[in-house]
Amino acid sequence: MNPLTDKTVSFTTASSTDGRGADRDLMNLPVRALIKLGVRNEDFGYHLLRASMVIIFFFFGYQKWFQYEVERLIPYISNGPLIFWLYPLLGMRGTTWFLGVSEWTFGTLLLLGFWNRKLGILGALGSSATFIATVTIIPFMPDGWDAAAGGFPAMTGNVPFPMKDVVLLATSLYLLTQDLRGELRSTGTGE
C-alpha cells in the first residue's frame, strides 16, 4: 500500500506471480551495468590496479616539484636505510626532483604497459623498488611507535604515512608477476 495514494502497488512481472520478479530485475540492473562496463572481464582487477598505480605515481611525482614536499620528506629520506645517501649526493632539492622524475618515469612505463607488456614490466620493477625503499623506512623512523600505547604496533608520528606503501608494494609485485607471466606465455617459454 502506497501511503501517499492509498493505492496498492504491485511488483509482479509476467515471469513471477509472487512479487519477486521486479525485485530481481532491480537487483540485476546494476549487475548488468557492471558487466557492460567490463567488470566481469577477468582482467578488470589487473587493469584497475595498473590505472590506480599510474594515477598515484603522477600525483605523488607532481608534489616533488614544490618546496613544501622538500621539507615534508626530510624525516623519511634521512631515516631511509636504502635512500639516505640521496641527500649527500643530490642535496635536498635535487633529491625531490630525482624522486619526482623517477615517479613520473615509472608511472609512464606502467601506463604504457597497457599496450606493451615489456614496458609494463620495467614500470612494475621500478615501482617495486620504490616501495621497497619506502617500506624499509618504517622500522627506522624515530618515535614511530607510541610509547604511551605500549609501543609497537601503535603507530604514531611519521610511521602511518609509509604504511600505505605495504599495499602499494604488493600491488607492484602483483603487476610484475602478471606481466612476466603474460610475457612468458606470449613468447612460448612459460607455463
For residue 15 the three cell numbers come to 515471469
Q: 3-state class of 39 per DSSP?
A: coil
| Alpha carbons 80 and 65: distance in angstroms, whole number | 20
pLDDT of residue 188: 79
Q: How open is the CA angle 93-96-98, to the nearest 5 degrees?
A: 105
Question: What are the pLDDT digits (tens) for 33-55?
Answer: 766 665 566 788 899 999 999 99
**Cβ(124)–Cβ(179) under 8 Å?**
yes
Question: What are the pLDDT digits (tens) for 26-35?
Answer: 777 776 776 6
- Name the phi and psi angles at 18, rounded to 5: -100, 5
The residue type of 11 is F
- Name the phi and psi angles at 44, rounded to 5: -60, -50
Question: What percent of the chain is modeled with pLDDT above 70?
Answer: 82
| Alpha carbons 42 and 36: distance in angstroms, whole number | 13
| Alpha carbons 118 and 99: distance in angstroms, whole number | 23
Residue 170: name the closest of 132, 144, 141 by CA: 132
Model pTM score: 0.76
Partnered with residue 155 across adjacent β-strands are 145
